[in-house]
Amino acid sequence: YEIEIVTGVQTCALPIFALLRLARGRAMSSAPMTVAVLPGDGIGPEVMDVAVKVLNHAGGLFGKSFKFNHAPVGGAAFDASGDHFPQSTRQACMDSEAILYGSVGGPVSEQHLPKWKDAEKNAVLGIRKAFDLAVNVRPATVYPTLAHASPLRSEIVDKGVDMVIIRELLGGLYFGEHKTEGDKATDVCEYSADQIRRPLEFAFTAAKQRRGRLTVVDKANVLDTSRLWRRVANEMAAQHPEVELEFMYVDNAAMQLIKAPSHFDVICTENLFGDILSDAASVLPGSLGLMPSASLGSSKYMYEPSGGSAPDLTGLDVANPVAQILCTAMMLRYTFALPEMAAAIETAVSSTLAAGICTADIAPPGAQPCGTKAFGDAVCKQLSETHA
């Protein structure tokens, strides 16, 4: 069984075994939907406020309500408790049906301080491990109305950029043994076949709902873990004959993302490679502020923007809230089985951008950019005009 997932102008499909709980009456329930809201640091609280405002506005138009369990994470949590992911925040997530995450981190010049040292590792990786968030889904699409913002040449953009990167989140170097002994440091990369099958199952299913091409990215000419990825992918390919499976070394994939991004449909890869390639791909639309993502687990999902905390922009009302807003749409579709409400938010965002209402990072040359809050207000206006 499969269920189709649409994220903005991006479509992917996920196996229904991962989403069965969506069908257990939630879409018909009148009870408030519970969301753990973790704004984090830097611009996180600003864009989160806008996203929650849009979500509440859409809820009013669709007759839905929310209960938000606000909790600190990252540097904000460290200030309050000395822990980047304290037990109280963990409990807020446990008590909620979904996790809406902002951004974590501080100024580069302060990364050595206890408040920021390992903040992202302790917070993000801690949440992923605590809630078995094993698969990350991150679309990268160039909006036609924002082609000017893409760093790619027009002849490349005109060929179309529409991909989704599916990344394994709980294995590889990030979760292997790390140790330093004098002048020698060791980081262990480990994968099991079962860990590899999980993201690949999502990837094969997504490819069948899209253009039918799956690119597995690895470094099989050097790494045993990559050779295992290839073996498992080839074994699974027999169950998905309609999908064109190809393998690509990660160094070549990095080059092709810039040189020929239209080649890619669905990319699936391991943790470290996926971290790097998804960030690179997210820049192609012109701003990380445009790109949402979802981290999917066996019982709970987390939604977070692809960009960072941008501490230099804090408090200036210039941050792009699009990714955080689109995270709420993904949440409505994935966790709460409300595709019409999700689509309404996505359409309102697209219509706002098409109307030329853009924050400074994506505004056309010579155009007057709008602020973070003003963009959220414009999206709410679009929602009202369409669904009043």
CA distance 40 to 73: 5
The yes-or-no answer on residue 118 being catalytic is no
Q: Which residue out of 83, 132, 162, 279 is catalytically annotated?
A: 279
The yes-or-no answer on residue 251 being catalytic is yes
Strand pairing partners for 269? 167, 217
Strand pairing partners for 38? 101
Which residues, other chains included, contact 224 with Cβ-Cβ below 8 Å and sequence gap of 6+? none
Which among 90, 15, 43, 7 has a CA at the least distance from the CA of 328? 7
Q: Which residue out of 41, 101, 143, 174 is catalytically annotated?
A: 174
CA distance 318 to 372: 5
CA distance 153 to 172: 35
Strand 2-7 and strand 184-187: pairing?
Answer: unpaired
The yes-or-no answer on residue 53 being catalytic is no
The yes-or-no answer on residue 275 being catalytic is yes
In degrees to the nearest 10, what's the CA dihedral of 142, 61, 69, 317?
Answer: 50
Q: Which residue out of 143, 219, 300, 377 is catalytically annotated?
A: 219
CA separation (Å) from 99 to 71, 92, 174, 183, 357? 10, 9, 22, 40, 28
Q: Which residue out of 275, 300, 334, 377 is catalytically annotated?
A: 275
CA separation (Å) from 177 to 117, 186, 280? 19, 8, 27
CB of 211 closer than 8 Å to CB of 242? no
Tokens of 304: 């977070």
The yes-or-no answer on residue 219 being catalytic is yes
Q: Which residue out of 187, 224, 251, 312 is catalytically annotated?
A: 251
Please count the other Cβ atoms lying within 10 Å of the Cβ belonging to residue 178: 11
Residues with a catalytic annotation lie at: 174, 219, 251, 275, 279
